[in-house]
Amino acid sequence: MKKIFNAVGNFIKNTPIHVVLIAAALLLLIGTVLTMSTVLGKYTTQERMYGTFSVSNRLASRFALQEHEAVKGEDGSYTLHPTALVTENTYKLIPGLTIPKDPYISVENKTSIPAYIYFEVVEDNVSSSVSYSVNGTLWTLLSGVTGPNGGAVYTYSAGLVDSTSSGLDRIPILADNSFSLPPTPITGEAECLKFYGYMIEPTTSTATAEATFTGTVIDPEPQD
């Protein structure tokens, strides 16, 4: 009666020293049941510190990509739990809904060593009728730059961050902390929207965000 597509990959392999990475996946998996669309949405995160502990810890004590738990109401709509943070949310949705979703990057105890913060967004068969917007105030698209997983890359608009930077505990990715579904059923292949987070120390004090990202070798997420 229903067809569910699952798309959760392994995460990014080891990367060069001075790079702190995490990967996150927001999976919008879309199928059809009779005359109604059924959407299974997942958001997963995994953290890793690369290099020796002392090197990994030189940028921050913690770098995470996370979101609040989605709570389903009796009417089928969702709200976000005010405090509970999760590494995965699963949704069963109907057409026309706007779904609250607040993925954000969090940096704790940033050291004095300057670094750039980025995220990469990868769209895999995502229909144009599934709507979301990046927070254009906090993030700047690196035009023409492609991430290791083939997605568009955004950099934190504040530029280099260090121990004096404020507001790093929560840097929202989406403008409205939500995504919207079309009013009519969607058919076709599974749809997948993934976010990956990066924090990279530049090799020189004058290196731009673009040069720092493109000059760093980052292995893509392994494919099944």
23-42 pLDDT, tens per residue? 444 333 332 222 222 333 33
Decide if 4 is inside a domain: no
Measured between alpha carbons, how far is residue 98 from residues 10, 95, 123 in Å?
A: 29, 9, 19
pTM value is 0.75
**What is the residue-wise DSSP string for 138-177?**
TEEEEEEEE-TTS-EEEEETT-SB-TT--STT-EESBSSS
**Sole residue written with tokens 């959760």:** 8
Q: CA–CA separation, 104 vs 80, rounded Å?
A: 14
Give the residue numbers spanning the domain of 61. Answer: 19-214
43-64 pLDDT, tens per residue? 333 333 332 333 456 788 888 8
143-156 pLDDT, tens per residue? 999 998 899 999 99
Count of domains for the chain: 1
Q: CA–CA separation, 179 vs 89, rounded Å?
A: 14
Decide if 196 is inside a domain: yes
Decide if 223 is inside a domain: no
Decide if 13 is inside a domain: no
**Of 219, 98, 93, 203, nearest in space to 149 by CA:** 219
Decide if 219 is inside a domain: no
Decide if 122 is inside a domain: yes
Decide if 12 is inside a domain: no
